[in-house]
Amino acid sequence: IKKEIVDKGEKFVEVKVIGRQFFWTFRYPGKDGKFGTSDDFDLGNALVVPENHYVFVKLTSGDTLHSLFIPNVRIKYDAIPGRETHLWFKPTKTGVYEIACAELCGDMHYRMKAYLVVLSEKDYKKWIEEAPYEVSVLKDFEEKFAKK
């Protein structure tokens, strides 16, 4: 589907997601839009995306089986060590939504909670321009961006 979206000129963003005991890392390509460059940055437990854009995710695990579960966008995919799974979704409403691990991944599994933060296109552009961030929880995100 990515090729079709690119060929049509539709808007999209890419994010790498790594499940680890017991948190999610969301890796962004930075201002240049390319992974593997010096402006790449990671967010812990906060997936920030623009409204009405396709979001292409490269999902993996750094340790054991995890399952990325974002019920508000109807996503549930397994994160497997050594394997990269490709998935996509298109959020259509701004807001903050829960992300969970739906695979029992160890004794602290219950703490694997993250948030999907859907911003307007204007707010997302402002947010990405001010990157990189060092954010570990939604509270940090709200203090550094949402309440400005």
DSSP assignment of 77-108 equals EEE-BT--EEEEE---S-EEEEEEE-S--STT
Tell me the percentage of the chain whose pLDDT exceeds 90: 59
What single DSSP character describes residue 133?
-
- Three-state secondary structure call for residue 75: strand
| pTM given for the model | 0.86
Looking at per-residue pLDDT, the higher value among 1 and 98 belongs to 98
Confidence of residue 139 (pLDDT cuts 50, 70, 90): low
Q: Are 123 and 131 in contact (CB under 8 A)?
A: no
pLDDT value for 96: 94
Residue for token digits 């694997």? 112
pLDDT value for 132: 67
Instruction: Report how far residue 39's alpha carbon sits from residue 127's, in angstroms, rounded to the nearest whole number.
Output: 14
Looking at per-residue pLDDT, the higher value among 133 and 11 belongs to 11
Instruction: Report how far residue 98's alpha carbon sits from residue 52's, in angstroms, rounded to the nearest whole number.
Output: 18
pLDDT value for 18: 95
